[in-house]
Amino acid sequence: MRITVNVNGEDRTREVEPRHLLVRFLRDDLELTGTHWGCDTSNCGTCVVLMDGEPVKSCTVLAVMAAGHEIRTVEDLADGDRLDPVQQGFIEQHGLQCGFCTPGMMLTGRALLDRNPDPSDQEIREAISGQLCRCTGYLNIVRSIQWAAREQAAVAAPEAPATATATGGRA
Amino acid sequence: MTGPYDRAIVPPDRPSDPRGTGAVLKGRERAVQVPASFDYRRATSVAEALELLRRYGEEARVVAGGHSLLPMMKLRLAGPELLVDINDLHELDHIEQAGDELRIGALTRHRTLLESPLVGRCFPIVHDAEKVIADPPVRNRGTIGGSLCQADPSEDLSAVCGALHARVVIRGEGGERVVPMADFHQGPYETAVGVGEMLVQVRIPVLPGAGSAYEKVERKSGDWAVAAAGVALTLREGRIADAGVGLAAVGAGALNLDAVQELLNGREPSEALYEEAGRLASAHCSPVTDGRGSAEYKRHLAGELTRRALRRSVARARTAQGTTGEA
């Protein structure tokens, strides 16, 4: 089947079998290997991408089902050399060690902040509850997303004190 | 067969390891979980979907969220020749009050149910359950219709709809029929939906002074239940009426526990009554020992969770009657 999927703002057309999974379409056909491929059973969540702005597990979405929809992957988070606040947050708060879960975690963080710019600790934990991290114990991931929330708020209201660079957050 | 998966993990016209990661490739066999080949059609109307289902008969399956069906296809537990994608049928994605019932379209996603204040106000049991069904990315895709049609005895919304005495609307060539939840599941993974038919709507009675609750024990966040219990009831002059009790993950046929419902109806709420109801629920289920727990433990949970759900349902019904609705 010939499908066109809007990936990171660009229409990408490919010939695929109906059984081709979205994660394979992104990684193999478009060579966007930032989306990771883990358990393949919709448990681990490392393959999370945004479909029409919301997190989905791309190992359990057929590429043909994504046709006509907007997919956003980790490759689209940074604007040129400028990192997304969520990406910067993962650096500032050591939100990763091995990095395998990181693309999915950052996309979920992005989608959460787009809907809820000031999430509570509990709301962040709930948002990432479908994604496994075996390195951080999640604490630093929560802090990273909190850091991004503060950074965004500081940028949006420049007269406010620049708390975004303050150390850590309660988690 | 000419697809890439029939020959190798990577199509032969592509370099085998473009990024040099070596993670997947290098000619190593890795058990790639990919469904067997099938045809795919994206329906543009319910009529078209029904026509496709009729033409392909037993070999066609409806796909919406796909979070039950696709894993089964990967494991070769399901092998449809045709998938009929109904994600574009927006007419099936609705929540509306019609008289004394709430009508929920089959394509309504878990997330939509969880975010609907109307659903939460009428049926707190649905919000209890939705908070613990899988995880947010899965809830973004999965639908109520898919959950019910999967007919998995461990699935939460089936027990919820059983407790709520929901009815489902099945549409086919000849029109629609309305089936009570108790008759909808005909066994594990079997429903009353026939060839050339599809589930289009779930109808739940909205009763004044109602209270409901769902109690689930799971091993980890987002997991299937070890066991779960749903209760819905109303209070009339201080006595329980319209009781519904449905269990999940303790064997098939537990979506409506008649014995427990009959015990409750007409009785005044009390700890002694909850105790008796829990004992009955525990006796009227058929759990099996598996990785989530022993049959004995699940039977214990069936009783205890029934008691807890009863307590909360009664408290919510009292609140609903005392105020104007919020539990």
pLDDT tens digits, B88-102: 999 999 999 999 999
pLDDT score at B27: 42
pLDDT for B228-263, tens place per residue? 999 999 999 999 999 999 999 999 989 999 999 999
A41 or B64: which leads in pLDDT: B64
pLDDT beyond 60 at B290: yes
Query: Which of A10-14, B11-15, B202-206, B264-268 comes out lowest in average pLDDT?
Result: B11-15
> Which residues on neighbouring strands pair with residue B188, listed in sequence order?
none
Task: Test A55 with B140 for CB contact under 8 angstroms.
Answer: yes
CB A56 within 8 A of CB B134: no
The residue whose two tokens read 């956003």 is A72
- Contact residues, chain A, for B20 at CB < 8 Å: none
pLDDT score at B31: 55
Task: Test B135 with A56 for CB contact under 8 angstroms.
Answer: no
Q: What is the 3-state secondary structure (H, E, C) of chain B?
A: CCCHHHCCCCCCCCCCCCCCCCCCCCCCCCCCCCCCCCEEEECCCHHHHHHHHHHHHHHEEEECCCCCHHHHHHCCCCCCCEEEECCCCHHHCCEEEECCEEEEECCCEHHHHHHCHHHHHHCHHHHHHHCCCCCHHHHHHCEHHHHHHHCCCCCHHHHHHHHCCCEEEEEECCEEEEEEHHHHEEECCEECCCCCCEEEEEEEECCCCEEEEEEEEECCCCCCEEEEEEEEEEEECCEEEEEEEEEECCCCCCCCCHHHHHHHCCCCCCHHHHHHHHHHHHHCCCCCCECCECHHHHHHHHHHHHHHHHHHHHHHHHHHHHCCCCC
Task: Test A18 with B137 for CB contact under 8 angstroms.
Answer: no
pLDDT score at B59: 96
Residue B321: band (very low, low, confident or very high) from pLDDT cuts 50, 70, 90: confident
pLDDT for B186-234, tens place per residue? 999 999 999 999 999 999 999 999 999 999 999 988 899 999 999 999 9
ipTM of the complex: 0.91
Residue B32: band (very low, low, confident or very high) from pLDDT cuts 50, 70, 90: low
- Contact residues, chain B, for A55 at CB < 8 Å: 136-137, 140
Identify residue B103 by its one-letter amino acid code: R
Residue B295: band (very low, low, confident or very high) from pLDDT cuts 50, 70, 90: very high
B39: nearest CB among A18, A33, A60: A18
pLDDT for A123-152, tens place per residue? 999 999 999 999 999 999 999 999 999 999
Query: Which of A71-75, A82-86, B2-6 comes out lowest in average pLDDT?
Result: B2-6
Q: Stretch B152-172: mean pLDDT, rounded?
A: 97
Does domain A2-76 fall under CATH 3.40.50.1970? My reply is no
pLDDT score at A19: 97
Q: Do B92-205 and B210-322 share a fold?
A: no
Task: Test A18 with B37 for CB contact under 8 angstroms.
Answer: yes
Residue A61: band (very low, low, confident or very high) from pLDDT cuts 50, 70, 90: very high
Mean pLDDT for all residues in chain B: 90
* Interface residues on A facing B, Cβ-Cβ cutoff 8 A: 1, 17-21, 24, 28, 31, 33, 37, 40-42, 45, 48, 51, 54-57, 59-62, 64-65, 67, 108, 126-127, 129-131
A45: nearest CB among B21, B83, B137: B137
Q: Tell whether B16 lies on the interface with A, counting CB pairs under 8 A.
A: no
Among B275, B236, B280, B248, residue whose Cα is nearest residue B261: B280
CATH of domain B210-322: 3.30.390.50
A41: nearest CB among B39, B42, B71: B71
Tell me the nearest-neighbour CA distance from B224 into chain A, angstroms. Answer: 12
- Contact residues, chain A, for B40 at CB < 8 Å: 1, 18, 62, 64
Q: Tell whether B61 lies on the interface with A, counting CB pairs under 8 A.
A: no
Residue A110: band (very low, low, confident or very high) from pLDDT cuts 50, 70, 90: very high
Task: Test A65 with B87 for CB contact under 8 angstroms.
Answer: yes
pLDDT score at B221: 87
Q: Where are the domains of chain A?
A: 2-76, 85-165
Query: Which of B84-98, B262-276, B310-324 comes out lowest in average pLDDT?
Result: B310-324
Task: Test A40 with B5 for CB contact under 8 angstroms.
Answer: no
CATH of the domain spanning A85-165, picked from 1.10.150.120, 1.20.272.10, 3.30.1330.90, 1.10.10.10: 1.10.150.120
Give the span between the Cα atoms of B257 and B221, in whole angstroms: 27
- B92-205 has which fold? 3.30.465
pLDDT beyond 70 at A83: yes
pLDDT beyond 50 at A166: no
Among B183, B49, B204, residue whose Cα is nearest residue B118: B204
pLDDT beyond 50 at A53: yes
pLDDT beyond 70 at B20: no
Task: Test B70 with A126 for CB contact under 8 angstroms.
Answer: no
Task: Test B34 with A21 for CB contact under 8 angstroms.
Answer: yes
pLDDT score at B145: 98
Task: Test B38 with A18 for CB contact under 8 angstroms.
Answer: yes
pLDDT beyond 60 at B25: no
